[in-house]
Chain A
Amino acid sequence: MTHHLVSRRSLLVASGSGLAGALASRLFSPSVALAASPPRAKACIVLWLNGGPSHIDTFDPKPGQPTGGPFKAIKTRARTYELSEHLPGVAEVADKISLLRMTSKEGNHQRARYLVHTGYAPNPTVVHPSLGGWVSHELGDKSAELPQFVSVGGPAPGAGFLGVQHGPFTIQKAGAPPANLTLARNVDDKRLDGRLGALAAMEGDFERRTGDPQVIGRRRVYEQSVRLMRSPRTKLFDLSDEPERTVKLYGDSDFGRGCLLARRLVEGGTRLVEVVLDGWDTHKDGFERGKRLSAALDGGFSGLVRDLADRKLLDSTLVVCMGEFGRTPKINGDEGRDHYPQVWTAALAGGGVRGGVAHGKSDAAGAKIVESPTSVPDLCATVFTALGVAPDKGLSTPSGRPIAVTDGGSPVRAVLA
């Protein structure tokens, strides 16, 4: 491998002076020791609200404000915060969920998705790994049968410079088995072994000829694919053996079924599952659409938290629910709201996280964070801390550039257990 783990000390010692040294010291100098705390969470489930959900119409209601919109606010078990009336299930488990009032600066979908997934603003000289890539790299089991990073309803940002072997296994829709898991006609396991043996010889040869990390990464993916094909755990993708009662918890939506699948995969050894609920880019008809989207979110999110708690898995599974930004307090001429990175909310539950806290506060209109804003690097640092990865842990990219898992973020202690 061309990149390798470097401890903070060895990096500093090895680099000494020069550019690498300067970079490293800049990177690691904020002398607060962000030592890895004992991990609480072993796995992470990200509920990705694609398009940018309106914070005002979901997790940060502003009833009575001229721009508050038609949704009422309801009390929750958290007591410290209210939610939109269209999230009644989440309100019921709010004592297990904490909210971070976020602020960021990227208002373009693509750039904001990159920022929130990787913790870094897009930069042309390096492709940063997404959270899933980092988790696969840092916590993943290299001989696992199930992919360590799964995206349901993706595309999901990949593992960047960590290589394709830490990228997402994408399934379009929960319920159906992944495509192409079955051997082709007239090919049995023995015949496949023969093919793979011959392939290994060719690959070794080509690796020597090119020495290219992409080639090496691809070979790892072949190994992962064959392990998956041959694993009895592929039956986890088929939800039909799940009891009716459990299925109901998650609500009748693709997103709900995605959340159920996420729980099953985490039980089977996957480290990070991202479940996508698309459609939040509500420039138009925001309230009608918001109602429908909230129904799916409510079932999926609350069902997941309940089910994980029932199974005693919530303590070891971190659940993060977020999108790429919030939406304007101003309601536009089409009953919608536009992009608004200045204010949004990330919700955290489970492993390593204390429930029932709302950290930070937006103003009366939801236009500005007026108290304890959380930045994207801070959010990442919080998530990594809960997962037992030191937020300032450094890696070196293939071109020798030091990069830390978060862009200088500090964990939000108020929500960490």
Chain B
Amino acid sequence: MKAIHLHAALLAGALLAGCAKPSPTPASPPSASAAASAAPAAPAAPALTAAELDQALRDEWQRLGVTKVAPADDATFLRRVWLDLGGTIPPADVVTAFLADRDPQKRAKAVEGLLTSKQHADHLTDTWDRLLLGRQIRRNVVDRDAFRAWLRERFARNEPWNKLVYDLLVAEGRNTDKPESEMGEPTPAAEKASGLAVNGAVNYVLRFENPADLTGTTSRVFLGVQIQCAQCHDHKTEKWKQTQFESLAACFMQTKAVPLEKQAAGKKGTRTFEVRDVAEASARAGGKMQKGMKYPEYAKAAPAALDGTDLSRAEDRRKALAAWMTSKDNPWFADAIVNRTWGALLGHGFVDPVDDIRPGNPPVAEAVMKRLSRDFVEHGYDLRRLIALITSTEAYQLSSAPPSGPTPSETRGFARFRPRPLGPEALVDAMVAATGIDGMLERGGADVQTIKTQVRNQFSFLFDVDEESSNDDEFDGTIPQVLLQINGRLSNQGASVQQGGALAALLALPGDDAAKVRALYLRVLSREPRADEVERWVAFVNAPRTWVSTAPPPAAADAKGKAKGKGGAPPDPLARLEKRDKGAKKPAKAGDPKRQAWEDMLWTLLNSSEFLFNH
């Protein structure tokens, strides 16, 4: 096992070298330091290997007196990297091929395949879209699709992180690609517009209603520094002063959001804005202000970076700030992304919460974090390289078995993989993949993408995620979520035998019940069942039972009259699957009861913690 592991690590190193393409220089280098930080590392520093990280972690375990648990088996590893890198579970044929593969480097290869996949770019897009725009946004101001497209393009070509962040922070241009014909009445400001091209990244600035929120989020997300508390008062335990917050906010006070079309009542869609930097700081800048709001305190403040670097002589403050933030000398920038990525993969950051880096919240295994950060900077801020390194460590490849030894703590030192519930996006995608409900919908001629988005929103709503919170523990499985899982249509219609779906296809295959149990396990749980499990399920599906037929539950809309005013649950996008099924109106004629036994099995797998957790 150990030999295999080391081989994989070496291979990962080789792949990594390939990943680290020379970083393109920013289109218009704002300063020498940003240009220098984006340059490829030459001469190459001794490349960091997983073996080196492993040794550092073992030292940490020894220091803490914790014992690592057993390594994860191949199936567990594959499911884990698919969820972490691809945002969903692996298809059954990928699982079988992986399990059969004798290549000692197959784990690193699987990671490499995922890192260059479309799914990975989509998954990173989902993650950063959520972090940067939040789950709920002002759709009449923000074009989420344009923002996502901007992100996706960059993640797909593995844009160096410093360049991506720089370009995001300094973005100027129009927020949405709306044809002339659909534009509303132009505003007076539109005449003076600079005619800048569409740039999806400007939606980041537009998302904010004031410069304070823009400043706070930018610092928290990209630097891991929570300076927003200093908005109202000096920070009590850390060094941040209110004046420092104002100086940082001042860097955004040349950034204006200019509406190009008037607000038209009742008009749907996103209004066109142009985001651009003007010569003088303004009290109405740094976000899409609400009517009448002004922020003279920030406009008047002297612009400075968090470490006190004076930016007041900069012609363009925002560019100067972005250059400082993404510079290789910035003390937080690399740590912040390394810590966030480690936290996303291991379930717990070196510093946790992942966006709260400060002396009062010291990191666990600091040496490992610092080593990763250095490597990240030296190798061109290459996200793929970073992820490949982390996933090749022993810590990432440990199982989620109960911790042994005298220390009761479950997470300290990463001596065990910490199971975590799937978030709403991954859960919906995994359930769709497991049930083939998209196939059922396609058969009915439905717009699958739209429905999938609606179902994701439905889940996100019930998961009730606090978007300011960086803690994935918020996805915790409360009663409303569990009721959705027990009675909702995604699990029930998904688990039904319908043309186009997983179960219908599987039952049509030749083979005995044991083969079908095996196929279902591979599809849903991404592993082979053990012998006792096969035996248990074969007995389950063959137990005597009668066909059950009941009417569908009342549609959500029925309850609407009872609650006054707006609100109430929107209609369920998956209700159409019941309508299509002819039996919905009148009691269906009895079918084969065994069919329902298989449905019950699939429902049970979908409701199992093994499915609902990344472990």
Contacts and interface: CB of A to CB of B under 8 A. Distances in A.
A173 B550 contact: no
A175 B601 CA distance: 35
A176 B400 CA distance: 41
Most buried by B among A172, A224, A333: A172
B229 interface: yes
B609 A218 contact: yes
A158 B471 CA distance: 13
B550 A183 contact: yes
Given A167-B476, A198-B540, A399-B409, A105 B464 contact: no
Given A185-B492, A214-B419, A218-B477, A206 B609 contact: yes
B609 to A, nearest CB: 5
Interface stretch (A66-74, A188-196, A307-315): A188-196
Contacts of B607: 195, 199, 222
Contact of B400 (A154, A184, A212): A212
A181 interface: yes
Given A107-B233, A170-B464, 20 more contacts: A124-B356, A164-B477, A173-B563, A173-B568, A175-B562, A179-B569, A180-B480, A180-B484, A180-B486, A185-B550, A186-B549, A199-B604, A199-B608, A202-B610, A207-B609, A217-B477, A218-B477, A222-B607, A254-B565, A398-B408
A191 to B, nearest CB: 5
A280 B56 CA distance: 50
Q: Which of A2, A178, A187, A190 has the most CB of B within 10 A?
A: A187
Interface string B468-495: 1101010011111011101111001100
A385 B559 CA distance: 40
Interface in B476-520: 476-480, 482-484, 486-489, 492-493, 496
7 contacts: A107-B232, A110-B466, A154-B464, A180-B483, A184-B487, A185-B578, A207-B609
Interface residues of B, number: 84
A207 B293 CA distance: 54
Contacts of A108: 228-229, 231-232
Contacts, number: 205
Contacts of B549: 186
Contacts of B477: 164, 217-218, 221
A339 B233 CA distance: 11
A182 interface: yes
A186 B401 contact: no
A170 B480 contact: yes
Interface string B580-615: 000010001000000010001101110111101101
A225 B402 contact: no
Interface residues of A, number: 77
B553 A183 contact: yes
Given A124-B352, A155-B466, A229-B483, A176 B476 contact: no
Contacts of A185: 492, 550-553, 578, 584
B353 interface: yes
A211 interface: yes
B359 interface: no
A278 interface: no
Contact of B553 (A184, A209, A210, A399): A184
Contacts of B290: 284
Contacts of B473: 127
Given A108-B232, A214-B421, A173 B567 contact: yes
B536 interface: yes
Contact of B478 (A167, A187, A195, A214): A167
Nearest to B553: A182
A124 B361 contact: yes
Contacts of A333: 294
B599 to A, nearest CB: 8
